[in-house]
Amino acid sequence: MQKFVITLCLLAFAAAALAAPATTPIRAVKPVSGSETPVFLGSIADPATYPRTPSSLDVGTQYQCGTTWYDYQHNGSSGKMVSVDEMGFVHITWTNGLDSLQQNRHVFYNVWDPTTETFLMGENGVQANSSTRGGYTCGTVLANGFYFPTYHQELTGGEAHTAVAIDFLPQTGAFTGFEPCYLYQGATPMEIIWPKIAKDINGVLHVVSCENPIGGAAGDPQRIYYSRGHPVFTDGFGLEITFDEFDDAVCFDQLDTVMVISPDVACSRSTDRVVIAWADSRDDLTSDTATQRNNDLVYIVSEDGGLNWGERVNVTNFIEPDWECASQDTPVCDMDTFRIYTDLSVILDEDDDAHIAFTTTCYYSLEGTVSRYASQIWHWGEDDGFVTPICALSPAWIDTNWADDFGDWQYGMQRPNLAIDTETGALYCAFVWADSANWSEGGIPMQDIWISKSEYNGNAWTMPLNVTNTNTGQFVPPGESAHERDATLAETITDWNGERWLHMSFVFDRDAGGAVGDNPTGTPTLNPVFYHRINIDEIPSWPLWNPLWPFFHVDSTDAPLALDDVPGELPSSFTLYQNYPNPFNPSTNIQFDLVRAGNVTLSVFNLLGQEVATLLNNELRSAGTHVMNFDASNLSSGVYLYTLKAEGITQTRKMILMK
């Protein structure tokens, strides 16, 4: 392992010896071409059999910041319910149901003092909204400790609406809420709710919200809106928030019409860059057959603090099924069988590249079915533009006698939430995973919170670590469950007393399932809300999750799709892509695009500049996309560089072999 770290350090010297890689278009990982040997998943063990962490393991320390009868905190993406300021104070917000009837619901706040290791507002916190009802909250904090919870609220006799609150002084919990101006459908004010928030380097607040479904029923289309707020301070006191007006003097800018409540927003810590990502429906939204399950992942970028936005970029580009299916081989005709659902997390690294973690499930277009028990957590990085698995469950993962339904918006593995170590660049992803050995009296599996780490810019992730690991058995009655839900991470790792900490908050639900909504699967219980901090030294860097499972573009036989089966336009530029998977063992795939036919040389070098493999030696290749498989079984672990020469152009990229 030490040799491997040293090898990584030498990479900078090697980069100077060879041509630097050209900037490449943003795209998801491409499947293996039919002309090369694909990796079939049937020969790879399902990592869902990975043993769960022993119950005696104690990872981190928990502090209770409040309680709630209202177990659902979010229907989709969670944003950030925990934030840390530069003084080390930890700010937490949550939806607090004050009784079991689910109607008396408000936004609560607490702040943790690192010097005393206690909460300033006791174990219950204080109410942050002054409206008749509020909830579905997250927040952001300025370096000086001013905190801004966002939520949707109901005023007396009014519709629910997005609001952002400002604290009178840091850490006081004396909030005043402000709403962007209303939009109207005829004479009726629209309900634009479920907000997510981030602050930029100038202290401007960027908010993305979702409309309550257009038809008034869950599963109807809904619009996404962006708003931008400016905190107003006088003599050091937080007084109000003013919102920019867009076209037609409205405070909301419409981004899209979608089927799920998924948007999230992130800001750079050094520039004016802002990124918004969401799940974009692939269906015809004018049709009665549109579903919440058939989505791509898209994002947009503003380089000037939200004043102007670039074109929408489709990250996943799932391949349409063969609707004619002349072969009658339905599993193959399904083509891509992963789809984005309703939750994701976006963050920017120190180079201002976006990272998005997201959830998929197995979706079978021709059959019109979906497996909610099969779910996968993925990472996509803007710098290299391909998708890497973080953790996954196969369709065969669950065959126990559980209820047919986890509850609204629930999957077996879901709710990824990202954090970054700004000193090392390491990424952390928290998510919840249903425990196949623990379920409630109602037959709902209990979730634990797991964390994976990537020290490879998101290109490889560790086997997940169970950081809550509660165990109360089977057929557990209400009040005795140990069901962790709605975990979020503070955006960055922080230093305190020479140690580095990851900060997390979550609800400890005493009856698995959701007691809220039209499809309740649990019973209302009084649940603790916890702040959980973890020394990052407690999160191991090894072993790594198998980067070959699952493969991103597969049909429902788990076979990687062949590019030759997919119609498409010719490439617009000569491009050498990042290999996938990366790191790899022992084989990987190298993709390149040719604008026109020509002779191509593709070679692999070690860090000494010695050629160790030649995949193509001045061989004629047609215009289009090509993928070559590179088998490094005879090479030792380390960093290698691969170089493509064609059309009078040379491009080089690095790859990591880990055995």
Is the pLDDT higher at 8 or at 80? 80
Residue 112, beta-bridge partner list: 90, 119
From residue 160, alpha-carbon distances to 132, 143, 216, 290 in Å are 10, 30, 13, 26
- Contact present, 349 and 425 (Cβ < 8 Å): yes
- Among 130-144, 291-305, 329-343, 494-508, which is the least confidently predicted range? 329-343
In this prediction, residue 466 carries a pLDDT of 94
Q: Residue 518 falls within a domain, yes or no? A: yes
Residue 221: cis peptide before it, omega within 30 degrees of 0? no
Q: Residue 175 falls within a domain, yes or no? A: yes
What sections of 359-461 are H helices per DSSP?
A: none
Query: Which of 494, 500, 486 is CA-nearest to residue 538?
Result: 500
Q: Residue 640 falls within a domain, yes or no? A: no
- Per-residue pLDDT tens over the stretch 353-374: 999 999 998 888 888 787 767 7
Query: Which of 72, 68, 115, 107 is CA-nearest to residue 90?
Result: 115
Q: Residue 459 falls within a domain, yes or no? A: yes
pTM above 0.75, yes or no: yes
DSSP 124: T
Whichever domain contains 281, its CATH number is 2.120.10.10
In this prediction, residue 519 carries a pLDDT of 76
- Per-residue pLDDT tens over the stretch 424-462: 999 999 999 988 888 899 888 899 999 999 998 998 899
In this prediction, residue 2 carries a pLDDT of 33
Q: With bands split at pLDDT 50, 70 and 90, how would you rate the model's confidence at 210?
A: very high
- Per-residue pLDDT tens over the stretch 268-277: 999 999 999 9
**Antiparallel, parallel or unpaired: β 147-154 and 427-439:** unpaired
Is pLDDT above 90 for 47?
no
Q: Residue 135 falls within a domain, yes or no? A: yes
- Structural domain including 322 reads 49-538
- Average pLDDT for residues 219-244, to the nearest whole number? 96
